[in-house]
Structure 1
């Protein structure tokens, strides 16, 4: 007689599942989304075995769908992530995050001498030099930022 398979994590009724997060970055995703400071139930799985990635993280957020600006931020630290929208326990939309060629106004330039860190009314702007791994260059001071520095911004 076969033993029934038990799910480790129960499915969500409505909300978002962020899958294929780079291993050990789920907590950074929570920080980007200002969770768990809100009332949503959040489930986190870290270092889950993955045939595609070796290991990955997964975040499930009950009762919340992400805004496009939030997805843009996630793309910076988890460029392989997929966003799954769940309604009434069914997958209704699935898409991969896409890192844009320019990133504006998401975080500060780490260069204290950059014009964006002065009293001038200038929004930050970064050009994406490399997408995997993510490498950015400040449009104004040309400071290069690698993934670890980008993750620290959140």
Structure 2
């Protein structure tokens, strides 16, 4: 019996690998990062089998390292994600995304009557109520925002 060939994704020389993304959320991550773009080569693996998560997504971005604000946004979509910085084909930095206790300026409140949705210059501010699934509470009107509403903003 013939053994099937294993297909491997080419390693990147310099850039970022985002691993352990919740299955089927990699397109949301790309949206957060403004990808694809003319400057970055991106490789996506979706619904890859994972002993740790069951299924997961992976995103590899060549020649780009993420800003901390981008990592904060990814944590809203994929709270278990890991960020690996690659230089000269080696992992030089590895870390997990961390969902902050308070989210400022990244999201808009879905409540149309919230002060953040008026002509007043008020920045959105949310508190993390739960992490699995992610649930946020608006600082101003106390409306709860669940994952689907969070994802729709990216």
| Structure 2, unaligned runs of 5 or more | none
| Structure 1, unaligned runs of 5 or more | none
Are residue 62 (structure 1) and residue 71 (structure 2) matched?
Answer: no
Q: Which digits, 9 at most, give the CA deviation of each residue in 1:113-148, with x for residues without a partner?
A: 110011111110000000121100000011111111
Residue equivalent to 1:103: 103
Residue equivalent to 2:133: 133
- Give the CA RMSD over aligned residues: 1.4
Q: TM-score, normalised by structure 1?
A: 0.95
Residue equivalent to 1:46: 46
Residue equivalent to 2:19: 19
Residue equivalent to 1:81: 81
Tell me how far apart the structure 1 counterparts of residues 118 and 38 of structure 2 sit (CA, whole Å).
32
How far 1:6 moved relative to its partner?
A: 5.0
Q: TM-score, normalised by structure 2?
A: 0.95
Residue equivalent to 1:94: 94
Number of equivalenced pairs:
152
Structure 1 segments, 4+ long, off by >6 Å, are none
> Which 10-residue stretch deviates more, 67-76 or 31-40?
31-40
